[in-house]
Homo-oligomer: A and B are copies of this chain.
Amino acid sequence: MTTIYDVAKRAGVSVATVSKVLNGYPDVSARTREKVQQITAELGYHPNAVARGLVTRRSMTVGVFFQDHGNRGFRHPFLHDVIASFKDSIGEAGYDLLFLTEHRGNDGVFRGFESRAKQRDVDGLFLLGVPRTNSGLATLSRSQIPTVSVDLDLFGPKASYLCSDNVGGARQAVDHLVANGHRKIAFIGDRFGTKPGHDRMLGYQEALQAHALEYRPEWILEGDFGETSGYRAMRRLLAEAELPTAVFCASDMMAIGAMNAISEAGLHVGEQISIVGFDDIELARYVSPGLTTIRQNTDKMGQRAATELLELMNTTNKPPGVITVETSLVVRGTVRNIA
């Protein structure tokens, strides 16, 4: 391995000088600078960011914890999109992403978020799909590690979080239904009490009130955001004495499951029963009829997360905050106008 000493010797200067040209310091003569640069290229020398980080105390690395409820690791499309956008933005600033896992070290000791972050010396943390129940969260929120999490209300001296405007999004969904003449609207939500699930439920209820619609406990179902749970919830709903004319689902996958249950029952989505989903995943365009849904702006979420984390890491006394990103209604074919 070529080190800064090799370059220094070959160029006939000291390591300090080499370091200075490498880091673009001005107090180096043009002659020396050129000489060093030439040797650097000649030797194919690459400064070692790890050693540099050890002394500067900045690794230019942000740690990512990415889980999803199904324990499917990398496979959640919505969060993927957020990460992709986050990576682009934070990459611009020179940071690389280190994907971390909580685990038991070879000493048998369990290492959670904070421990892993310190171990790897990351400058900040980005959390996605982490359930509220995770035991490492409390310690993390109290720590001084700059952190931003999405869809999880983790708040602390250096911890901001970011969500879509889930309350508003849910209202958009119900409003759209009402605008199309629906007054009997069911809801398939989440049984885990995630922040988004909770807020979408809230928005649903607010909208019911705003439109003076009847609140019917038997029309409130619970799932886990996955297709099967939406299917099951819809089956239960279809067994009720009185059926709603529309159902708002807290995720697209649940909406798709619900659509299957409806077809299976010999009914037609968008005819007897209207459906609105949430997320606007890629699939929503491909099912038939196309799913009307509330779109989460993943690009913007990633960007906002990146700028927030950058500030948390690089601005002293930057107060943490909560960031909300607007949603938008995407009309496709699952809502019928019955006015």
Contacts and interface: CB of A to CB of B under 8 A. Distances in A.
A249 to B, nearest CB: 16
A138 interface: no
Interface residues of A, number: 47
Interface string A74-88: 110100110110011
Interface string A17-31: 000001010000000
A99 B84 CA distance: 11
A15 interface: no
A119 B286 CA distance: 43
Interface stretch (A90-98, A129-137, A218-226, A311-319): A90-98
Contacts of A103: 91
A123 to B, nearest CB: 12
B77 A73 contact: no
A75 B98 CA distance: 18
A70 to B, nearest CB: 11
A103 to B, nearest CB: 7
Given A73-B88, A286-B286, A286-B287, A49 B80 contact: no
Interface string A184-212: 00000000000000000000000000000
Contacts of A24: 106-107
Interface string A115-127: 1001111000000
Given A50-B50, A118-B46, A98 B101 contact: no
Contact of A87 (B49, B88, B99): B99
A280 to B, nearest CB: 14
Contact of A286 (B51, B111, B283): B283
Contact of A54 (B46, B51, B283, B288): B51
Contacts of A50: 50, 53-54, 59, 120-121
Contacts of A118: 1, 46, 48
A240 interface: no
B120 A49 contact: yes
Given A73-B87, A96-B99, 15 more contacts: A24-B106, A48-B119, A50-B59, A50-B120, A50-B121, A54-B54, A72-B84, A74-B80, A74-B83, A74-B87, A94-B106, A96-B100, A96-B101, A97-B99, A282-B283
Interface string A252-287: 000010000000000000000000000000110011
Closest 6 pairs between A and B when the two form their complex, measured CB to CB: A74-B84, A46-B118, A73-B84, A97-B99, A50-B121, A49-B119
Contacts of A49: 119-121
